[in-house]
Structure formats: C-alpha cells, structure tokens
Amino acid sequence: MSTPNHRPSPAAPSSMNLRGAVDLSALKARSTAPAAPASTTPAAGTAPAPSPFVVQVSEQTFPQVVQLSAEVPVVIDLYSDASPDSQQVSAILAAIAVEQNGRMLLARVDAAAYPQIAQAFSAVAVPTVAAVIKGQPVPLMDRLLPEDQIRALIGELMQVAASNGVNGSLEGGTEQGPAEDAPLPPLHQEAFDAINAGDYDTAAAAYRRALAEQPADAEAKAGLAQVELMARLRDADADELRRAGAEEPDNVQAQLAVADLDIAGGHVEDAFRRLTGLIGRIRGEDRETVRLRLLDLFEVVGVSDPRVTKARSALARALF
C-alpha cells in the first residue's frame, strides 16, 4: 500500500450511495455546521487510546464487523503506521468513536497487512476511510482532512445511519436520545447475543429455530447464512486456503473455502465467478454442494444486490 504525497481527492459527494438501502442525500453536500469545539484529539503520531469501540480488524474478523453494521455504523480506518497523515486521521476517528459512546464502531485495518480488505474499499493510498451500514459500503475520504470536516462527515454519516434504522448501541455504551429501538424477536436476539459472544454455533441454531417457526423469515435466513460464513472462517488460515485453491482448481472444498474468503474480503464478483465456473466443470453431488453454497452466499451479499442478479444468470447458464 503506497503512501504518495499527492493523493486523489475524495470521491465526489454525488457518488456516495448506500446500495440497496437509502439515498445518501444527507452526504451529498458538505456540512456548514458551526465549527467544532476545541479538539481533545490525541497528538498526531500517537496510537488511539484503548476503547471497546475501537477495534483492530483482520481478514478473518471482518465478517463479524460487517454483521455489527446492522446495529451501528461501522467506520473502516485503512491506515499505515508509516504515514503521519494516517496516524492523525486515526487519532481523530478514535476520539470521535469514544465520544459516540457505542453508537458507532471504529474498525482499524492495517492496509499493508490486509491488502484484500483495502482493495475491497478501492483504497489506493492511506489514509482511506469508509463506512459500512447494513453491510453496504459508503466511501468517506481518501486523504487527510481538517478535523472539523472529519467530524462533519461522521455527523452526517450518523444521520444517514439513523434514517436507515441503524441507531443501536454497542455493549458498554449508553443509548442517547429518547427513541428506543424496537426489540428483536426472541430468537433473533438470542442469535445476536451469541454473535457478540463469538458463539456462532449457538447463533446459527437460534436462526434455524426461527426459520422452523417462520420459513419466510428473510432476516433469519440472511442471518443464518452470514453466521455460518463467520463460523467457517473462524480458524481459517487465509494464505493456506488460497494456496490450496490455486493448486487444486477442481477441488470442491478448496474452492468453496476461497469463495468464502473472497466474500469476507469484499471480492463478491470473484467469489461468484469462481463457483459458477466450478459448477460448469463438475457433476453429481459435488455440483449440488456448490450450488447450495452459492445460494447461501447470495443471502450473505443480499438477494437484491445487482451482483447477485448477475450471478444468478451465470448460475443458470452453468447448470443448463
């Protein structure tokens, strides 16, 4: 990940959109709010202070972070310790996350250590900052901005998240404002609590019971697919899985594992192409195994996502 002196300017506001959710009209114009109060941000070059709302993210833990974006907006800080600008942005974002007191999560990603996550957000340099709301990416900035502008961006993001129903609070924070979220159905709450505890098996079992009671429960179906993906990647060695996938292009389990990694890292189209191509080369029970996994990954990405629509057509061609 390079750190050039001349970086491309931030994405034009009109290009910011939350696919499959709401219009990000609130992010289309830069804020003209009054100047922010005097900064309490740590000095540039210092690491963000420890906080339950500032977490380090790896390729393996990225799916769990995406899952949390259904409850609170997740801000992705793609950083490098070698970049002073990146360190300054990280310090500002960490201070904001602490101030939000659980209403947002700051997920820090070492861009050099996890280039696949960086690529998923089209990061060509650091600092790059994006957000995830309900699993959908929102580009925010790709260079150092003044602190008041960063705070304005995060304020607008919080408004967009709230209008999208994403206004919860992480454990350890306190709800702010008089509005309260509608309670989740009991089995969904059980699943969510289990996910927070890292117990994916219990979460999956809760979603399965919810589906047994209500087979048309789309949220339970999507939740089950997501938590099963998280469970499959829980102890995964990404390098080893990718090596096996490259060496054994027709090994069903090896290709399924790499597709999981691609989905987790945001390489959705790569995962879909890998599996539809595999379906076209194999027959019998293995073919059905791959087809069913592909359908599960459609749920993870979102059945209304245009990439899913395109992959469904490719699947039909591969099958028939």
Each residue of 117-147: pLDDT tens digit? 988 888 889 999 999 998 888 899 999 999 9
pLDDT at 292 over 50: yes
- pLDDT at position 39, please? 37
pLDDT for residue 1 is more than 70: no
Give the pair of three-digit tokens for residue 258: 């790499």
pLDDT tier, 51 (very low <50, low <70, confident <90, very high otherwise): confident
Plot region of 291 (φ>0 → left; ψ -120 to 50 → alpha; else → beta) = alpha
Cβ atoms of residues 126 and 81 within 8 Å:
no
Predicted confidence (pLDDT) at residue 76 exceeds the cutoff of 60: yes
Share of the chain above pLDDT 70, in %: 81
Q: Which one, of 75, 102, 112, lies nearest residue 1 by Cα?
A: 112
- Per-residue pLDDT at 50: 56
Is residue 24 scored above 60 in pLDDT? no
Measured from the Cβ of residue 255, the count of other Cβ atoms closer than 10 Å reads 23
End-to-end alpha carbon distance in the chain: 42
User: What fold does the segment set 236-320 form as a domain?
Assistant: 1.25.40
> Average pLDDT in the 258-285 region?
91
Q: Does residue 15 have a pLDDT over 60? A: no
Q: DSSP class of residue 173?
A: B
Domain ranges within the chain, ordered by starting residue: 13-163, 183-227, 236-320
Picking from 97-101, 287-291, 304-308, which range would have the lowest pLDDT averaged per residue?
304-308
What is the CATH number assigned to the segment(s) 13-163? 3.40.30.10
- Least Cα distance to 252 among 291, 194, 219, 307 occurs for 291
Structure tokens at 133: 């709301």
**pLDDT digits 0-9 by tens, 159-198:** 888 878 888 998 754 444 334 446 788 999 998 888 877 7
At 286, give phi and psi (nearest 5°): -60, -40
Determine the pLDDT at residue 32. 28
